[in-house]
Homo-oligomer: A and B are copies of this chain.
Amino acid sequence: MSRVMRLAVAGVGNNISALLQGLYFYHELLKQHVGSAGLPGILHPRIGGMNVDDVEIVAAFDVRAEIIGQDLHAAIFQAPNNYPHLGVTMPQQAAKVALGLDLDQSGAVVRREQVVDELRRSEAETLLYSLPTGMQWAADAYAQCCLEAGVGFVNCTPEIVARNSEVLAAFVTAGLSLIGDDLASHLGTSVVHRSLLRTISERGLTLRSSYQLNIGGNEDFRNLLQNGGSKKKSKKNALAQSAADLDLIEVVPSAGYISHLKDNKIGMINVEAVGWGGTPVSVDLKLKVQDSSNAAGVIIDLIRIAAAAQRCGLSGFHAAASPMLKSPPFGHPDDEVSAAETALASLEPRVAAE
C-alpha cells in the first residue's frame, strides 16, 4: 500500500505549476486503470512504494504579494507563470501560498520563525526549493528552517546546498534527506548534445566544432540573458564528459528571451566533424520541449527519493538521485546509472514474511 508524501514548496513558479497539474493528470490516468507502464513521460512509475500521484502539496512559500493567501491551484496560473493549462480538474488544495523568507533593508533574513512554524504545522516531509536562480542566501536560510522543523530538502537550483559539506553533515545528523544540487532536465539540450557527440566519437569521426543555442520565453531565459556565465561553463563541462575538446564547443544558455514561446524551450545544436579522407560530416538538431515539464519529470523522482529514504531511516544524500542532478555532492561516478537503479530498488518497501 502506498502512503502519500507531504511536500512543501519554496517558490510558486512554472515548475510547481507543472508538478501540481501533472499530479492530477497522472491521477486521472491511474484511475482509468492505465497500467503504470503506459504512463506517458514517466521513467519510474513507483519509488519507495509511492505512485506518481502519491504526492500532496501541504505548504507553499513565495513573496509575490499578488498570490499570497491564494489557493495553490489558482496561484500557479498567475503571471509571469506561463506553463500551459493541461486541462485537468483540480480541487481546492491543502496549501494556500504563505509569505516566505525575505531580506530586510539591512540584508537580514526575515520571517524564519513563521516559515518554521508553517513547515511544522503542515507536517511536510520534504521541502522542494525552486526559487529563481541566484539567491544563495535564500537557499541557505530555507535549508536552516528545514533543519529546525525536521523537514528534508530538495534543491532544484545551482545554489550550493548539498555540496556544502557542513550543511550536508547537519542533515545527516538530523536524520533528514538532502538532495541536490541543480536539476538535470528530463530531456535537456545537454543530454541530447552529449549523446550526439558521444555517437560521433564512438564511430571514429573527428570533431571540428560544435555549438548549442537555447531560447525560451519564461523568466529563466530572461534571467540567463544577463547571468548566463556560470550556466555556460557548467553546460560546457557537462558536454566535455564525452571527451570532446572544450575549445571546439560553444554553448549559449540563453540566446534569446522570446516572450511568445512562453514556457517552451528550443535548443539548437550543430556539430561539424570529419570522416574518411577528411570529408565533412555535419549534424543540425532542433529540440523543442516544455521547459517546466522537463523539470517536473525529474522533480517527481527526487522528492519521492527524499521521502522514501527518510522513511527508511536513511539521511543526507541518496545515490539514486545522482543521475538526475547536474552537480551532486559526490560528482558523477562512471557506473552512476546502474548504481542509481540499484539504489532505487533498495528504497522499495519489503512485504513482511509471515
Contacts and interface: CB of A to CB of B under 8 A. Distances in A.
A256 B213 contact: yes
B277 A41 contact: yes
A289 B282 CA distance: 7
A141 interface: no
A278 interface: yes
A288 B282 contact: yes
A240 interface: no
A21 interface: yes
Nearest to A266: B270
Contact of A297 (B204, B213, B294): B204
Interface in A180-215: 186-187, 191-192, 195-196, 198-200, 203-206, 208-209, 211, 213, 215
B293 A277 contact: yes
A186 B199 CA distance: 11
A98 interface: no
Given A196-B195, A258-B250, A259-B250, A283 B278 contact: no
Contacts of A300: 276
Nearest to A42: B204
B281 A289 contact: yes
A297 B282 contact: no
Nearest to A187: B203
A248 interface: yes
B255 A256 contact: yes
B259 A44 contact: no
A181 to B, nearest CB: 20
B260 A256 contact: no
Chain B CB within 10 Å, residue with most, of A204, A252, A293: A204
Interface string A215-228: 10000000000000
B199 A278 contact: no
Nearest to A274: B40
A285 B285 contact: yes
B293 A25 contact: no
Interface string A163-186: 000000000000000000000001
Contacts of A42: 204, 276
In the assembly, how many copies of this chain are there?
4
Contact of A277 (B205, B209, B296): B296
Q: Which of A274, A279, A286, A290 has the most CB of B within 10 A?
A: A279
Contact of A276 (B203, B213, B293): B293
A331 to B, nearest CB: 20
B203 A43 contact: yes
Contacts of A158: none
A250 B256 contact: yes
A287 interface: yes
Contacts of A255: 213, 215, 252, 255-256
Given A209-B260, A284-B286, A276 B199 contact: no
B25 A277 contact: yes
B211 A186 contact: no
Contacts of A293: 275-277, 279
B203 A186 contact: yes
A284 B22 CA distance: 26
A57 B42 CA distance: 47
Given A41-B206, A281-B288, 8 more contacts: A41-B204, A86-B277, A192-B283, A211-B215, A211-B260, A213-B256, A252-B255, A268-B268
